[in-house]
Amino acid sequence: MSQNTEPREQWASRLGFILAAMGSAVGLGNIWRFSYVTGENGGAAFLIIYLLCILLIGIPIIMAEFTIGRKAQSDTVGAFTKLAPGTPWVLAGILGVASAFIILSFYGVVAGWTMRYFLGYLTGQLWSAPEGGYADFFVGFISSPVQPILWQFIFMALTIGIVFVGVKNGIEKTNKILMPLLAIILIILAGYSLTLGGAAEGLAFLFTPDWSAFAEPGVYLAALGQAFFSLSLGMGALITYGSYLSSKEKLPGAAGSVAVLDTLFAIIAGIMIFPAVFAFGIDPASGAGLAFITLPDIFAQMGLGGFFGLLFFFLLAAAALSSAVSLLEVAVAYFIRKFDWTRKKASIIVGFIIFLVGVPSSLGIGPLSNITIVGGRDILDSMDFIASNIFLPLGGLIIALFVGWGWKKTEVLEASDFGSSGLGQVWLFILRFVAPIAILIIFISSIRQW
């Protein structure tokens, strides 16, 4: 077995780190998952709770993860064993590695779909609606036994390739170019979607709350899970990325910019999708296919739509790739340290296992669609539910408690760059009380939804 003699890497620059964290946050979660979860949970009421989760739970926990990572200079499990040896806090790290396996397993499946759509625009096949419309095409494709798995494989191979090359060259470089491009095209598409005739209804759905939805405990759990998923939070992805940061950098600004940017991406995606949903008479609660069915309809209406479709699915696949890389990196960083594997060996073995774990999620839509796991959900949705709505908030809860209670206050404040500022006190108060209590209340009140 090859012994690992490589030194731990570091980001080349502060900007590279922030962009990598942003690249991890911005992905399928902002477009595919945000749109259908918002649609299923009633629109504006969900959005308000989601924003509150980001502000009161998300941003403080991003800071907690960055602080732990940079201080410990180790992967998500190693960080806890280093900072608090022999204590049960390490459970957060173990949950994190498990979540990385589960999330990347189905993430690769959905990312594979985006690559298939990219090919459809490259060849012109999807420029106009296929027989039976885009909805039929989508369902036909994702429920077929072999094709989606091939695309999942291709996507996972690319993810492995980047993690294989390493933090600085692989992860840092890809993000710098593609993120700004994705932002620009999203804004153009949102602008166009607003001209389609469903703007009034779409915007009302997204921004005018139906108050009765606030009485639904399931909406809170969905919003909490979406906040964690979208911010890449609760599983140590940001601990891992923070661990490649040298101690010269200031953390709070980085945490704030990641959260703001991620939220902007999601809201703009909402402004792109919901007007079109109403313009084309699609049910906003129609589920996981929402983006894949609505967007092609937008492109088919647009001048140069084929070109925009091509560009959009390319950028979406790229955004998914930078998120997938961070998921794989969580597990790979752990295996490199724990088993003394080289980066190359760890990325190939772990990546391939995650690919295999994802295969049933893909098959569960077609050949294995009679299998349901959690509350009538198919395999992919069950994996998503368990990891995003349970494991991530639970991991976040432990992380908040660790930084709030398990670590010496003066040390935490110093390690976080807050120092003796008032903001640091507010941050600690949230980690000690507000975030844990909110997560617990949401868990307990929604337990019947599980």
Task: Name which of 25 and 271 has its Cβ closer to ligand PFF.
Answer: 25
Task: Name which of 54 and 428 has its Cβ closer to ligand PFF.
Answer: 54
Q: Which residues bind ligand PFF (CB under 6 A)?
A: 24-25, 27-30, 103, 229-230, 232, 235, 237, 323, 326-327
CB of 437 to ligand PFF, least distance (A): 24
3-state secondary structure the chain: CCCCCCCCCCCCCHHHHHHHHHHHHCCHHHHHHHHHHHHHCCCHHHHHHHHHHHHHHHHHHHHHHHHHHHHHCCCHHHHHHHHCCCCHHHHHHHHHHHHHHHHHHHHHHHHHHHHHHHHHHHHCCCCCCCCCHHHHHHHHHHCCCCHHHHHHHHHHHHHHHHHHHCHHHHHHHHHHHHHHHHHHHHHHHHHHHCCCCCHHHHHHHHHCCCHHHHHCHHHHHHHHHHHHHHCCCCCCHHHHHHCCCCCCCCHHHHHHHHHHHHHHHHHHHHHHHHHHHHHCCCCCCCCCCHHHHHHHHHHHHCCCHHHHHHHHHHHHHHHHHHHHHHHHHHHHHHHHHHHCCCHHHHHHHHHHHHHHHHHHHHHCCCCCCCCCCCCCCCHHHHHHHHHHHHHHHHHHHHHHHHHHHHCCHHHHHHHCCCCCCHHHHHHHHHHHHHHHHHHHHHHHHCHHHC
Output the residue with the shortest Cβ distance to ligand PFF. Answer: 29
CB of 224 to ligand PFF, least distance (A): 14
Task: Name which of 26 and 348 has its Cβ closer to ligand PFF.
Answer: 26
CB of 177 to ligand PFF, least distance (A): 18
CB of 3 to ligand PFF, least distance (A): 29
Task: Name which of 276 and 327 has its Cβ closer to ligand PFF.
Answer: 327
Task: Name which of 107 and 402 has its Cβ closer to ligand PFF.
Answer: 107
CB of 75 to ligand PFF, least distance (A): 13
Task: Name which of 23 and 296 has its Cβ closer to ligand PFF.
Answer: 23
CB of 422 to ligand PFF, least distance (A): 30
Task: Name which of 396 and 436 has its Cβ closer to ligand PFF.
Answer: 396
CB of 96 to ligand PFF, least distance (A): 8
Task: Name which of 11 and 241 has its Cβ closer to ligand PFF.
Answer: 241
CB of 237 to ligand PFF, least distance (A): 3
